[in-house]
Chain A
Amino acid sequence: MTDINTTLPGQERYVAPLEETPLQTVDTVDESAPATSMWSDAWRTLRRNPLFIISAILIVFIIFVALFPGVFTKTDPNYCTLDDSLEPARPGHPFGFDMQGCDVYARVVYGTRTSLSVGILSTLIVVAVGTLIGAIAGFCGGWIDAVLSRIVDIFMAIPMLLGAIVVLQMFRTVTSIWKVVLVLALFGWVSTARIARGAVLSSKNLEFNTASTALGSTPMRNLFRHILPNSLAPIIVIATTSLGSYIVSEATLSFLGIGLPSTTVSWGGDISNAQSILRTDPMVLFYPSVALAVTVLAFIMMGDAVKDALDPKSRTA
């Protein structure tokens, strides 16, 4: 046994002076910092993220254009005369004219509403249906989960574009944008359902649910008061990101000529019409493409920013 006499050099008894290492009471609450919930934490992270600021500004602008296209142009996007066919830009018509002689600028402005409404409506349906089915599967478990999961597998196996084409070719004559919305939702709900199921499953097993049950809470009460609110974050993330991808899908379907009818002003349709004159007048194709890309980019960046803010991995709980 080592005793004091044989202490090795550098290992003598040392006691730090108390003034250098003041002792604090055990486990005090820091009352100086403001109270923050998970959401306000996420909001603070978001606000500091340049990605979020840029995408938020873009999205607000895009929504404004979609709501009030009249503020940006007085030209009717459907007023086209062949006299103006492929005329270059001139005052009042900054982007020039397309082959039919329609004002490209006006069509880009009015196309915003189409893209955005398809994107938003599809997302709303997908989130509602996907969350419902995913939550039921995750919460009930057992055979209900098994059946629902197989149905999800089946839908997952059909590539979205192919499925959409098959259905849409049946409904050539329908002109409402709802057909595109519903078809996108039909093939889009599965990914949200999967994520919702996973989220519900993982928050179902957290201890606070057991704690609530032991306090006298019922399973249904747990589902609505604890499990669903705690599953929201991943659903919000996928909703934001898929909004962008639904806009792309709508444009792609319109581009193929089986999405929206040609009477509806849409970026995809305009890009499709412009492809034959790519070699001579690339700018006619350029403007709607840029509008489309910027819109999708805004939503995807927003999805990234929201994910950074809500991702449990990046949050230190």
Chain B
Amino acid sequence: MGKYLLRRILQMIPVVLGTTLLVYALVFALPGDPVKAMFGDKPVNEAVAAQIRAEYNLDKPFIVQYFLFLKNALTLNFGETFAGQPVIAEIGRAFPVTIKLALMAFCFEAIFGCVFGVISGLKKGKWYDSVILIVSLLLISVPTFVTGFVGQYFLGVKWRILPVTAGANPGFFDLLMPAMVLGSVSMAYIIRLARSEVSSNIALDYVRTARAKGMSNTSVTFRHILRNSMIPVVTYLGQDLGALMGGAMITEQIFNIHGIGFLTYQSILKGEANMVVSVVTLLTLVFVVCNLLVDMLYAALDPRIRYA
């Protein structure tokens, strides 16, 4: 187990380096001038532009820029925004909100996804299986922002059950609808995954052997069918936790939640390349760490991996 973990961590290093390099390259090395982009539609003030270039080391060779950026990033020094705020402080303010939102969405999709998926898989062909399947298909097809508007219109405007937008300092109820919207697509995928896993596991040989032992249907279902079906589901959930933070951008935008996604989007609009790189790097790191956690969880759940 320890060896396996170490190997996974070592494998992670080139991925992290490569990913940050890629993001950095995308922002600063692509044809298209980030400094010009900062000015947006305004005329470019060459003096200011030169100053910005010096500040972000853009006058140096690319690879040097990257290492300087990396060095700063390791000390959590991501530079300052146009308004003179340290980037890390802005991120520090926005991050907890996004984590809260992502965790709520995560719980929502995990609980409802598993419950509906398992029911559907165990009772394949029943009418409620069809209903669950159709609903999950619909949720996958409808983009998050449409789901968001539908939710806002019905739950917020028409029936007035939940607040329409969340605002700067959201509480549990403010985030309830955004979390459901954010988690809905993943929930649909989990339903489908759990359903296909459960329904294919039911027919496996070791399940038959368990029945032949004289075990009751309930214990066969829990100990053999569900236990084994949960391995890929948990893997998916873990990877999704990282993706949820990145995907929160749309949801935060619609519900006016001042989290990381909102911040990123505002930075993009304002052309704050520095902020964008920092946030994307951070989210990528979160994603990679989540993947590592998934690997560990996977090893804990599946003994075949542990000793491989």
Q: How far is the CA of A62 from the CA of B11 in the complex (A)?
A: 45
Which of chain B's residues have a CB closer than 8 A to the CB of A301?
A: 137
- Shortest Cβ distance from B268 into chain A, in angstroms? 5
Binary A-proximity of B60-96 (CB < 8 A = 1, otherwise 0): 0000000000000000000000000000000000000
Which of chain B's residues have a CB closer than 8 A to the CB of A170?
A: 26-27, 30, 32, 34, 37
Q: How far is the CA of A268 from the CA of B32 in the complex (A)?
A: 25
- Shortest Cβ distance from A178 into chain B, in angstroms? 14
Q: At the interface, yes or no: A151 with Cβ under 8 Å from chain B?
A: yes
Q: How far is the CA of A166 from the CA of B279 in the complex (A)?
A: 10
Q: At the interface, yes or no: A175 with Cβ under 8 Å from chain B?
A: no
- A162 near B253 (CB under 8 angstroms)? no
Binary A-proximity of B1-28 (CB < 8 A = 1, otherwise 0): 0000000000000111011001100110
Give chain B interface residues in 14-52, CB to chain A under 8 Å.
14-16, 18-19, 22-23, 26-27, 30, 32, 34, 37, 40
Q: How far is the CA of A154 from the CA of B19 in the complex (A)?
A: 5
Which of chain A's residues have a CB closer than 8 A to the CB of B34?
A: 170
- B137 near A300 (CB under 8 angstroms)? yes
Q: Which of B111-119, B168-176, B281-289 contacts the other chain?
A: B281-289
Which of chain B's residues have a CB closer than 8 A to the CB of A102?
A: none
Q: Which of A218-226, A231-239, A252-260 contacts the other chain?
A: A252-260
Indicate whether A161 sits within 8 Å of B268 (C-beta atoms), given known contacts A166-B276, A278-B152. no
Indicate whether A159 sits within 8 Å of B14 (C-beta atoms), given known contacts A172-B37, A278-B157, A313-B200. no
Binary B-proximity of A276-317 (CB < 8 A = 1, otherwise 0): 001100100100010011101100110010000000010000
Indicate whether A275 sits within 8 Å of B254 (C-beta atoms), given known contacts A161-B249, A252-B145. yes
- B141 near A153 (CB under 8 angstroms)? no
- A169 near B268 (CB under 8 angstroms)? yes
- B153 near A282 (CB under 8 angstroms)? yes
Give chain B interface residues in 257-308, CB to chain A under 8 Å.
264-265, 268-269, 271, 273, 276-277, 280, 283-284, 287-288, 291
> Who on chain B is nearest to A164 by CB?
B26
Binary B-proximity of A67-78 (CB < 8 A = 1, otherwise 0): 000000000000
Main secondary structure on B side of the interface with A: helix
Q: At the interface, yes or no: B247 with Cβ under 8 Å from chain A?
A: yes
Indicate whether A297 sits within 8 Å of B137 (C-beta atoms), given known contacts A162-B280, A289-B146. yes
Q: At the interface, yes or no: B243 with Cβ under 8 Å from chain A?
A: yes
> Who on chain A is nearest to B152 by CB?
A278
Which of chain B's residues have a CB closer than 8 A to the CB of A162?
A: 246, 249, 264, 280, 283-284
Which of chain B's residues have a CB closer than 8 A to the CB of A278?
A: 149, 152-153, 157
Indicate whether A275 sits within 8 Å of B149 (C-beta atoms), given known contacts A159-B246, A244-B141, A255-B250. yes
Which of chain B's residues have a CB closer than 8 A to the CB of A159?
A: 242-243, 246-247, 283-284, 287
Cβ-Cβ contact count across A and B, 8 Å cutoff = 130
Q: At the interface, yes or no: A165 with Cβ under 8 Å from chain B?
A: yes
- A157 near B200 (CB under 8 angstroms)? no
Binary B-proximity of A158-202 (CB < 8 A = 1, otherwise 0): 110111011101111000000000000000000000000000000
- A157 near B15 (CB under 8 angstroms)? yes
Main secondary structure on A side of the interface with B: helix
Q: At the interface, yes or no: B221 with Cβ under 8 Å from chain A?
A: no
- A167 near B30 (CB under 8 angstroms)? yes
- Shortest Cβ distance from B53 into chain A, in angstroms? 16
- A166 near B145 (CB under 8 angstroms)? no
- A158 near B22 (CB under 8 angstroms)? yes
Q: How far is the CA of A101 from the CA of B305 in the complex (A)?
A: 61
- A251 near B37 (CB under 8 angstroms)? no
- B254 near A165 (CB under 8 angstroms)? no
Which of chain A's residues have a CB closer than 8 A to the CB of B144?
A: 252
Indicate whether A166 sits within 8 Å of B137 (C-beta atoms), given known contacts A154-B15, A157-B287, A252-B143. no
- A157 near B37 (CB under 8 angstroms)? no
Choose from A151, A169, A171, A255 the contact partner of B276 (Cβ within 8 Å).
Answer: A169
Indicate whether A153 sits within 8 Å of B15 (C-beta atoms), given known contacts A165-B264, A166-B23. yes
Q: At the interface, yes or no: B142 with Cβ under 8 Å from chain A?
A: yes
Q: How far is the CA of A275 from the CA of B151 in the complex (A)?
A: 13
Q: At the interface, yes or no: B131 with Cβ under 8 Å from chain A?
A: no
- A258 near B268 (CB under 8 angstroms)? yes
Q: At the interface, yes or no: A271 with Cβ under 8 Å from chain B?
A: yes
> Who on chain B is nearest to A251 by CB?
B143
Q: At the interface, yes or no: B140 with Cβ under 8 Å from chain A?
A: yes
- A292 near B243 (CB under 8 angstroms)? no
Q: Identify which of A155, A162, A255, A256 gathers the most chain B CB atoms within 10 Å of its CB.
A: A162
Q: How far is the CA of A166 from the CA of B203 in the complex (A)?
A: 46
Q: List 17 A-B contacts (CB under 8 A).
A: A153-B18, A154-B22, A157-B15, A157-B16, A158-B284, A159-B246, A165-B264, A170-B32, A172-B40, A251-B143, A255-B143, A255-B250, A257-B269, A279-B153, A289-B142, A293-B146, A300-B137
A residues engaging B (CB < 8 A)? 150-151, 153-155, 157-159, 161-163, 165-167, 169-172, 244, 248, 251-252, 255-258, 271, 275, 278-279, 282, 285, 289, 292-294, 296-297, 300-301, 304, 313
Lowest 7 CB-CB distances: which A-B pairs, in order? A159-B246, A297-B141, A154-B18, A170-B32, A296-B141, A289-B146, A293-B142
B residues engaging A (CB < 8 A)? 14-16, 18-19, 22-23, 26-27, 30, 32, 34, 37, 40, 137-138, 140-146, 149-150, 152-153, 157, 200, 242-243, 246-247, 249-250, 253-254, 264-265, 268-269, 271, 273, 276-277, 280, 283-284, 287-288, 291
